[in-house]
A and B are shown apart, each in its own frame.
Chain A
């Protein structure tokens, strides 16, 4: 049976792991290589790295860290943040990433999804979507760290991403990000029913039951979280025990 995945997410800024709330108040947390190693040993099913500053000069720093992390872990590793061209993607894959995550750059140039999927295969192209609820109860896609409303409907954009060849979707609800009040189940469920590729839920994990909620009621294939893992509020082995008790299939060795 295919297991549901638990994925720690490392937001990296200038070579350090940081953490914010609703994409603001960014604070320093840890060294990415150390943290990655810890998660690999704790039974994380995958790791995600976002380079949140993602300027050109930092791209090389990122490639260097990606390589150092890849050397320490034996689980899948996704890297995102400011990857604008197939060449950018190639470089990160060459450094040891298994998948790349595209967000703003795919909104600006949807063709990037298709080009990357053709060249590297759908399985390594993850479409990451930051969504926010509007007053008329729709979900809009935001970019630029949640500052810019693209006018795209999140569900429609996900479907288009799938058609262009994305192999997976990470959906991050901006309103619940860092609030620790649970994932945005309505959005995640809608999305999971709209597409036929795996959905990774992000934004809002604070307690054990938030994970089981999103994996069961939200139909998510994987749950991503950051600070609850970084500060060890929820240790991954304890989370997996909890999920198994709730009859959710997770990987154990």
Chain B
């Protein structure tokens, strides 16, 4: 079973519905033991970086996630969930993240409207199994005001362009991040979740 961590605000239902559609069994939890016993973990995401990190700490989940990541358990971070994997965020201040991946989170740059809302194209980098069945320049749904920068280029699986290059899919070993919402990205999004499911098997 995939543990979906429910740290407060987000819309977890649509993620559950999407996982149901691709037949990946999941459950929602905040219990550190259940997270430890799960097969994989999803950190979903909307809301503020600082609040999310605080919630993870207060629930006793920060250390558990770090430990499970080190143990090689597959972790998928979606939107804010992906941003939490990085070292530092500059969202309304400066906050320490989980530090599982090298890089920082900053406000979207360039002469573009923020938030970045809507369907944008995914440029594929390399032949990652996460991109199985995904044609280049497929549209996926983004809603975010902050993005990852100063990241390790080798981790880049997919990117989009909005005021500059924005990492859209990243992977380093068992850690996977998606800046857009696969659960809201129609058939393409479901295919991406299916691909994640194949990696978990």
Contacts and interface: CB of A to CB of B under 8 A. Distances in A.
A119 B9 contact: yes
A198 B9 contact: no
B117 A253 contact: no
A90 B6 CA distance: 14
A124 B121 contact: no
A95 interface: yes
Contact of A120 (B47, B138, B189, B190): B47
Contacts of A75: 141, 184-186
Interface string A63-77: 000010011001111
B162 interface: yes
Contacts of A121: 9, 46-48, 80, 145
Contact of A196 (B14, B113, B144, B186): B113
B31 interface: no
Contact of A123 (B46, B183, B188): B46
A90 B47 CA distance: 12
A13 interface: no
Interface residues of B, number: 39
B117 A74 contact: no
A168 interface: yes
Contact of B117 (A67, A71, A167): A167
Nearest to B138: A253
Nearest to B143: A123
Interface string A160-202: 0000000110000000000000000000000000001110000
A94 B145 contact: no
A90 B8 CA distance: 10
Interface stretch (A1-9, A30-38, A209-217): A1-9
A84 interface: no
A121 B116 CA distance: 13
Contacts of B117: 123, 167-168, 198, 221
Contacts, number: 113
Contacts of B162: 2
Given A98-B184, A123-B144, A253-B186, A70 B14 contact: yes
A97 interface: yes
Contacts of B121: 1
A94 B118 CA distance: 21
Contacts of B18: 74
A122 B118 contact: no
Interface in B123-173: 138-139, 141, 143-145, 161-162
A96 interface: yes
Contacts of A90: 9
Interface string B26-46: 000000000000000000001
B198 interface: no
Interface string A112-126: 000000111111100
Given A74-B186, A74-B190, A198-B118, A120 B9 contact: yes
4 closest Cβ contacts across the A-B interface? A96-B13, A251-B139, A123-B143, A251-B119
28 contacts: A1-B121, A1-B161, A2-B116, A2-B120, A3-B118, A3-B119, A3-B120, A70-B17, A74-B17, A74-B184, A76-B141, A77-B14, A90-B9, A96-B13, A96-B17, A98-B184, A121-B9, A121-B48, A123-B145, A124-B11, A167-B115, A167-B145, A197-B115, A221-B118, A222-B118, A252-B139, A253-B138, A253-B187
